[in-house]
Structure 1
């Protein structure tokens, strides 16, 4: 029996990295591997358990076929190691930190993937982005505008995107993720 690919996406600042880290052990206990992305820049991966490589190394790995999925966004290259195919074939679920812009391509390769969109209310996102201190107030407002566009669609083709709100308590979001994936019977805590 094949495992399922869980394709987590969300705007910058939505808390994907925090959610992945907080859910890592319960996911593993539920037969779900959490994948470390390969990224070409360290600043973007602050807080993310990623493998940082140079652009040349990334291109070499991509040419060699080391990635099941790869894409570029915001001047960076991202890759998902090809070993996910073996995990899926072995019946293990696999959670990846994906890109909304790359979802259609990922869905072509993995037609049964489960798209999960991590959402966050504008007030919470603004606060997180200000706390992070990487962007100017104008850049934050532009990101908030993109967040509204980012969360507009409920489906891609025939596949419904599952939404997971991360505006509140992280423990509640973890419980809701596990519930969504049928890995836990914990009640909705958001």
Structure 2
């Protein structure tokens, strides 16, 4: 593959979707495509502009080999369409909104991948999760506890190639740091 997989991960509420929306045009100008995920989330749910399918359709797509990567988290199924491999082969970089739990498998599949962990201050994250109004206070606290466990595991595990990107401040600053990070880690021609 001539392009590079850029695997963006971070806790729910860290601002991954907002960052991707904000950086979309600038990434395209750099030859980087953003993959649209397939998710078994309700079409009424707020969040990213994903392709929403029911669980039976997702299972059929998975059985047909429609996904380059897929995982299950928080009661939902997520898939990255196989077209990303064509984009990579054509020399485009591809940015995906990934899963922290799927990171080891993604690294095996794309060994030259750039993994980017979007971080956010714990108190800012709590405020963002409450502002979304998707979960109860108890669910938010459980999510924050899981996030702390994930962060500890990622930071003590195989994190030598994990780039940290703080999104506790302005979205514009984070977008510029993301673009710089991708440019600095571009694969040699």
Larger mean CA deviation between 36-45 and 167-176 belongs to 36-45
Provide closer, same or farther for how the CA distance between residues 46 and 30 of structure 1 changes in structure 2, counting only shifts above 3 A: same
Q: Which residue of 1 aligns with 2:174?
A: 173
Aligned residues: 183
Confirm or deny: 8 A CA contact 1:37 1:81 kept in the other structure: yes
TM-score of the aligned structures, taking structure 2 as reference length: 0.91
TM-score of the aligned structures, taking structure 1 as reference length: 0.90
**Mind listing any 5+ residue stretches in structure 2 that lack a counterpart?**
185-189
Q: Distance in 2 between matches of 1:135 and 1:60?
A: 29
Instruction: State the 1:156 CA deviation.
Output: 5.0
Q: Distance in 2 between matches of 1:150 and 1:121?
A: 15
Q: Distance in 1 between matches of 2:47 and 2:139?
A: 21
Q: Is 1:126 matched up with 2:126?
A: yes
Structure scoring higher RCO (CA < 8 A, sep ≥ 6) equals 2
Q: Which residue of 2 aligns with 1:111?
A: 111
Q: Distance in 2 between matches of 1:24 and 1:178?
A: 10
Calculate the aligned-residue CA RMSD, in Å: 1.7
Instruction: State the 1:65 CA deviation.
Output: 1.0
Q: Is 1:70 matched up with 2:70?
A: yes
Provide closer, same or farther for how the CA distance between residues 88 and 155 of structure 1 changes in structure 2, counting only shifts above 3 A: farther
Confirm or deny: 8 A CA contact 2:43 2:52 kept in the other structure: no
Q: Distance in 2 between matches of 1:91 and 1:159?
A: 25
